[in-house]
Every structure is written in structure tokens, then in C-alpha cells.
């Protein structure tokens, strides 16, 4: 029996996120008519804030061999699906590009690099962050970096995901390290080969922040006003 693409199109627009995720994966395997449904759906959602549903479709179309799909991305979203807003004129396009390509390891390094740029020239030279610099980060830039990680990771990665787990775990660092795969028993996960550079990683695994100099920088990140006023 032929596949009913208009039924799939309808289910995609009206389904829950879970249903949408399954339909997107299915449509990706159904050749050009499937990709056309995904293209139309992505365009329909253009005026909304992007979620990882948009990021998933973007990645599928980007990696497809279907030139109308790639042309659509080039025309409507030449730099990616996330608008790269910065209060400090930082260019996050290399981060977006690496995340679209699914190169999470390089994206992780660029994330630290960009946050150092955001902190200023001394941090760029130092290559790590003081918590006092993190406290002064503009809200907009942290939200941009967080949205990028979330949108291109099916909502698994990003600071706000890590922070949410940290709050759920009563701000207990040891429990957080275990939960996100940064520590196994008493053993710290070794950089870089101990970490999982794919969506197979635990939720909140990426981006990394080195704890060699203590947890004050990551504590400042999680306490930043960028994440709203939900907690004290």
C-alpha cells in the first residue's frame, strides 16, 4: 500500500513532541516525498522560537542528498535555525555550524573559546573562566549558547539542562557529576577520551566545564539570571 503522506503531514503538525520525533525519524527514511513534508513543516514553524524539533529537521535536511532541501536551508536559514543574538558582538556562527554537523567535541571546545571571548582578552589568553567573569556575562549571550546546544541535541545538552538536574539533585555536585557522567564512583572522567561525544551520552553530559580549579565558575553559571528567577 502506498504511504499516506498527507496523513503523516497532519500528524506531524498536531502531534506531541514525542510523536513528532518519531514521525521525523520515519519521514527521513521515506525518500524525497518524506523530506518534502519535513521541508514544509520547518517553513511553517519559521515565526516561532526554534526548538530541538526544528534542529532535528534542519540536521536531516542538511545531511540529505536532496538538493531542494539544501537549497531551502540556504535560502531561509543560511546560518542555521537559531538567531545568533549577542550583547557583546560575539559571533557564534562557528558554534552553530559545528552543532549542526554533530561535531560535539569541537563544539564543546568552541563553547569555552566563545565564553572566554565574552569574558575579555585576559580570559582568551588564560583559556579558562573566573567565576567573577561568569557573573558578568550578558543574559542574551548565555541564552544563545544554551539554545544552540539544546536545539541541536534533541534537548539533551546545554547549561539549562545541567542546571535543571543540579536543582533537582538539591545542588549536590557529587550527585550531579555522577548523573551527567562526569564522575564514576571516585573516578573523574578523563578528558577527552572518557567523555561521550554523541547523543548516546547521559542527559546534561555536554558542554563540559573543567573542575580542575573548583566549581565556583559552574556555580556562577547555574546561578546566573539568564535562567530566570525560579529559584532563590
- Site for ligand UYC, rule CB under 6 A: 128, 177, 182, 188-189, 191, 208-212
The answer to whether 163 touches 222, Cβ cutoff 8 Å, is yes
198 grid coordinates: 554523541
Judging by beta carbons within 10 Å of its beta carbon (0-12, 13-18, 19+), is residue 165 exposed, middle or buried? middle
* Beta carbon nearer to ligand UYC, 56 or 179: 179
* Beta carbon nearer to ligand UYC, 74 or 188: 188
CB of 196 to ligand UYC, least distance (A): 12
CB of 134 to ligand UYC, least distance (A): 14
* Beta carbon nearer to ligand UYC, 58 or 182: 182
How many alpha carbons fall within 13 Å on the CB side of residue 192?
9
CB of 150 to ligand UYC, least distance (A): 19
* Beta carbon nearer to ligand UYC, 58 or 137: 137
The answer to whether 166 touches 179, Cβ cutoff 8 Å, is no
CB of 197 to ligand UYC, least distance (A): 12
* Beta carbon nearer to ligand UYC, 84 or 112: 112
From the list 138, 136, 120, the residue with the least C-alpha distance to 217 is 136
CA distance 153 to 206: 10
- Cβ contacts of 215 within 8 Å, gap of 6 or more: 173
In the DSSP assignment, the letter for residue 51 is -
CB of 81 to ligand UYC, least distance (A): 26
Amino acid at each position: 500500500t502506498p504511504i499516506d503522506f498527507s496523513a503523516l503531514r497532519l500528524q506531524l503538525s498536531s502531534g506531541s513532541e514525542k510523536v513528532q520525533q518519531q514521525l521525523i525519524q520515519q519521514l527521513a527514511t521515506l525518500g524525497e516525498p518524506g523530506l518534502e513534508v519535513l521541508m514544509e513543516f520547518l517553513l511553517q514553524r519559521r515565526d516561532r522560537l526554534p526548538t530541538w524539533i526544528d534542529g532535528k529537521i534542519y540536521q536531516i535536511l542538511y545531511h540529505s542528498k536532496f538538493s531542494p532541501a539544501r537549497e531551502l536551508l540556504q535560502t531561509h536559514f543560511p546560518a542555521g535555525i537559531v538567531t545568533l543574538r549577542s550583547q557583546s558582538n560575539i559571533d557564534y556562527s562557528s558554534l552553530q555550524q559545528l552543532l549542526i554537523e554533530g561535531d560535539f567535541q569541537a563544539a564543546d571546545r568552541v563553547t569555552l573559546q566563545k565564553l572566554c571571548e565574552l569574558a575579555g582578552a585576559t580570559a582568551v589568553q588564560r583559556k579558562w573562566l573566573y567565576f567573577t567573569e561568569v557573573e558578568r556575562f550578558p543574559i542574551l549571550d548565555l541564552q544563545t549558547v544554551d539554545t544552540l546546544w539544546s536545539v541541536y541535541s534533541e534537548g539533551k545538552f546545554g547549561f539549562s539542562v545541567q542546571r535543571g538536574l543540579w536543582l533537582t539533585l538539591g545542588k549536590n555536585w557529587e550527585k550531579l557529576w555522577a548523573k551527567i557522567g562526569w564522575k564514576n564512583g571516585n573516578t573523574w572522567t578523563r578528558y577527552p577520551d572518557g567523555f561521550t561525544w554523541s547523543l548516546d551520552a547521559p542527559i546534561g553530559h555536554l558542554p563540559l566545564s573543567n573542575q580542575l580549579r573548583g566549581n565556583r565558575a559552574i556555580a556562577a553559571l547555574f546561578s546566573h539570571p539568564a535562567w530566570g528567577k525560579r529559584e532563590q
